Amino acid sequence: MNIQNIIAKKRDKKELSKEEIEYFVTNYTNGTIPDYQASALAMAIYINGMSYEETTNLSMAMAHSGDILDLSSLGTVVDKHSTGGIGDKVTLILAPLISSLGIPVAKMSGRGLGYTGGTIDKLESISGYQTNISIEQFMKNVKEIGISVIGQTLNLAPADKKLYALRDSISATESIPLIASSIMSKKIAAGASKIVLDVTCGSGAFMKTLPQAVTLAETMKKIGELAGKETICIITNMEEPLGKAVGNSLEVIEAIKALKGEMQEDVKEVVFELGAYMLKLAGKGNNIEENKKQLLEQIQNGKAYEKCKQWIKQQGGDINYLEDLETWPKAKFIIPVLANEDGYITKLDAQKVGEISMRLGAGRIRKEDSIDKDVGIILEKKIGDKVNKGDVLAYIHSNKEEVAKIEEKNLQNTYIIGEKSDRKNNILKII
Ligand code: URA
């Protein structure tokens, strides 16, 4: 077997065998196959696609390229993963909320790249929070307090780690077989027995249309089931950012407020839908509407917030940041973005908002860039809201005045004001 023949086969739209896929994954992970040949194969897959069988074989080969966690001693662990979005603080709210109901949360999250955010960057904006604790400490935390969230520091699906960075650098990210195998390899390696996937759809997501999102969801569900892991996909709207805050500490503050009972409606819809299905998979209730009531109660009785404090403290975070939101450092320049006409917000392109936030310093243009945790955007108006000329649409939080001025104009232009229009439902489909 050799890699040139494998590349040529995919270039010529032929199906790769399990052995050929395993050969590629093993030899790319150990460095025998160089990046330029892996790039050629990734691009051939991007252009010509893969069958379900090939995608499943790629997922399994990448899952087995490193360690596979055994979480069986923790009981039924239900994992959650999002395909990526803007203002997506769902894990920060859902993890303690689910844990407060006695369901173990043992979660590995990622960092943001490009215009999409990452939970680990957000958590690191809490002073002292450790994202790279040992596997022993991780398991101990889950056993003792029912929750731990860490970064991808363990040797889980290393083939995906390499391939994902490579795809990002050659514009081969938005491919259904490549995304499905990337996510499912990590989920299989991370050891949970059940999985709820948030498949985002819209301008700020990798899947721009509903049919694309449905195909991705169906592909991942099938892979999950072939791996013996019950999987539910919830397709959610990412046409505009989720909630009000975009940017690391700003999103953590919004999540803390949500856990204290002040949750934005769109965030609530997504958190409760995902949470209700996580409860179902954990065997805590088959009725989705009843499950949502259980979740609401955990917010109202303060137990979800208490669990959050316990979790953050256990991982070294300073809980003063949770108790007193005035503790958070603020960006030097907080500049309002004003409406320049009367009407209704008809469009607020999530990708453009994500790109503005990234240029303010909240995200990384390159993998090695550092981020400014205090900067970002607070969206005061969202799609469907009525505005009058001069109203504040949003606030730019920046540490650089010049950048803030440029992005203020960009954000103003991103808001499209027109005739009254309805806000889209945030839950588009369950698969
Ligand atoms: N998230 C992942 O983990 N991988 C992808 O390919 C896309 C989103």
**CATH number for the domain that contains residue 363:** 3.90.1170.30
The contacts of residue 175 (CB under 8 Å, 6+ apart) are 45, 46, 49, 167
| Shortest-distance Cα residue to atom 5 of ligand 1 | 179
CA of 328 to the centre of ligand 1 (A): 31
How many helical (H) and strand (E) elements, i.e. helices and strands, does the chain have?
17, 13
The contacts of residue 211 (CB under 8 Å, 6+ apart) are none
Query: What pTM value is reported for the model?
Result: 0.94
The CATH number for 159's domain is 3.40.1030.10
| Shortest-distance Cα residue to atom 7 of ligand 1 | 179
**Long-range contacts formed by 132-140: CB under 8 A, 24+ apart:** 133/315, 135/69, 138/106, 139/73, 139/74, 139/106
292 and 177, same domain (yes or no): yes
pLDDT tens, the chain, 431 aa long? 999 999 999 999 999 999 999 999 999 999 999 999 999 999 999 999 999 999 999 999 999 999 999 998 988 899 999 998 999 999 999 999 999 999 999 998 888 877 778 899 999 999 999 999 988 899 999 999 999 999 877 788 999 989 988 998 888 988 999 999 999 999 999 888 899 999 999 999 999 999 999 999 999 999 999 999 999 999 999 999 999 999 999 999 999 999 999 999 999 999 999 999 999 999 999 999 999 999 999 999 999 999 999 999 999 999 999 999 999 999 999 999 999 999 999 999 999 999 999 999 998 877 678 899 999 999 999 999 999 999 999 999 999 999 999 999 999 999 999 998 777 899 999 99
pLDDT attached to residue 155: 85
311 and 353, same domain (yes or no): no
Whole domain around residue 89: which residue ranges?
72-323
Residue 64 lies in a domain: no
Separation of alpha carbons 356 and 351, rounded Å: 9
pLDDT attached to residue 116: 79
Report which secondary-structure segment, H or E, holds 378.
strand 376-379
Angle at 355 between CA 87 and CA 91, to 5 degrees: 20
302 and 340, same domain (yes or no): no
Separation of alpha carbons 204 and 208, rounded Å: 8
Separation of alpha carbons 33 and 35, rounded Å: 7
Cβ 82 vs Cβ 200: under 8 Å? yes
E strands in 128-229: 147-150, 194-201
pLDDT attached to residue 83: 93
The CATH number for 28's domain is 1.20.970.10
167 has catalytic annotation: yes
Cβ 174 vs Cβ 116: under 8 Å? no
CA of 177 to the centre of ligand 1 (A): 11
127 and 226, same domain (yes or no): yes
Separation of alpha carbons 192 and 40, rounded Å: 33
Residue 24 lies in a domain: yes
Cβ 236 vs Cβ 428: under 8 Å? yes
Pocket of ligand 1 (CB under 6 A): 83-84, 164, 178-179, 182-183, 206
Residue 143 region by backbone torsions, left for phi larger than 0, else alpha for psi between -120 and 50, else beta: alpha
- CA dihedral angle for residue 199, residue 60, residue 191, residue 229, rounded to 10 degrees: 60
Number of domains observed in the structure of the chain: 3
State the closest ligand 1 atom to the C-alpha of 167, by its place in the atom list counted from 1: 6
Mutate to test the pocket of ligand 1, among 173, 185, 208, 367 (most ligand atoms within 8 A of CB): 173
Cβ 163 vs Cβ 71: under 8 Å? no
In the block, tokens 């938005």 appear at 174
- Least Cα distance to 155 among 77, 64, 73 occurs for 64
- Collapsing DSSP to helix, strand or coil, 106 comes out as strand
- Least Cα distance to 113 among 91, 90, 86, 131 occurs for 86
216 and 281, same domain (yes or no): yes
SS3 content of the chain, % helix, strand, coil (to 5): 50, 15, 35
315 and 356, same domain (yes or no): no
11 has catalytic annotation: no
76 and 140, same domain (yes or no): yes
100 and 200, same domain (yes or no): yes
Separation of alpha carbons 343 and 97, rounded Å: 38
Q: Which residue is catalytic, options 10, 64, 80, 81?
A: 81
318 and 335, same domain (yes or no): no
